[in-house]
Amino acid sequence: MQPVNNDAPCVFVVGGSAGIGRAIAKALLAEGAQVVIFSRSDPLGLPGLEGAHWWPLDLTRSDDSRRELAHAVTRFGPRLTAVFYSAVAYGSGRAPLLDVPESQWRDQLATNLNGLWQTLAATLPALLARAPGLFVGLSSEVVYNAGPLRAGYAATKAAASSLLHSVAQEYPESQLRVVQLLPAGMVDTPGIRRRRDACFDYSSYMSSTCFQDVAVQLYRTLGGGAHGRALVVDAKGQVHDVSHQLPGSQSRQST
C-alpha cells in the first residue's frame, strides 16, 4: 500500500474496482482527493487510478469486512471527508423467486444492505468528527419500481434506500450530509455485461462516467443543499430530484 498523503482529504469508495464506483474514484483522484478503494479484486494499475489506495474487502464475509472497515477507519479516519458506497450484488440474472437459490439472496443481503449498514456504522463517527461529513449511496430505480424476476435485488436496494433516508433524518445538515444517486436508465458496467449475450447492443445504455461530474460536485460542496435527497443522473450527467420525476421501470427490459 502506498504512503499516505497527510494533507489531502480522504474519500472511501466502497465497490470502487469497476463500473460506477471506479468512474467515481477516477474523478475524485483527478480532483486531488486521497482515494481508498474497497473491493475484492485489486483495481490498482488500471488507467486513471494512479495514486489510489486499495483495501481488500469482501462484504459477503461479515466478520472480516467489519474488521477491515474498522482498521481502515483507524488508519485514515482523521482525514476521512466522504464515503461513496457503490458495492452491489445483482445476482446471476433475472429469475422467478422460486428459481433463485438462497445463496444468491444471502449475497444480495450481504452486499446491498448489510455491507451498507457496516460501512455506515464504521465510518459515521469519523465523518461526524469532520462536521460535516458526506455519505453518498448508489441507489437504483428498483427502489421505486418493484418488478418481476428481480425480487431479491429490488428488496435489498429498497431497504438500503430506506436505511439511508432514515440516517439522513437522524442528523442535521451541519453534521452530516447523506445523498443518494441513481441512474435514469441502464448502465453499461462489467456486472451487467456478465449477464448479457456476447452480441448484446449497449448503445442505449448509460456510461458509468455519467456519474463523475455530480460526484465531484458533491465532494467539492460536501453535499451542501443535497442532504437527504435522492438524485437521478441521466445519460448527459444532468441531475434531478427523484421527487420531481420518478425513474422509469426497467423491469421489462432485457435480462
- Contact between residue 13 and residue 28 where contact means Cβ atoms under 8 Å apart: yes
Residue type, 227: H
Class of domain 10-241: alpha beta
- pLDDT band per the 50, 70, 90 thresholds, residue 252: low
* Mean pLDDT score across all residues of the chain: 92
| Residue range 173-215, pLDDT digits in tens | 999 999 999 999 888 787 777 777 788 888 788 999 999 999 9
Cα–Cα distance, 130 to 127 (Å, whole number)? 5
* Mean pLDDT on 216-227: 98
Kindly state the helix (H) or strand (E) to which residue 19 belongs, with its residue range: helix 19-30
Residue the block writes with cell 431497504: 159
Residue the block writes with cell 438524485: 231
Residue 221 confidence (pLDDT) above 90: yes
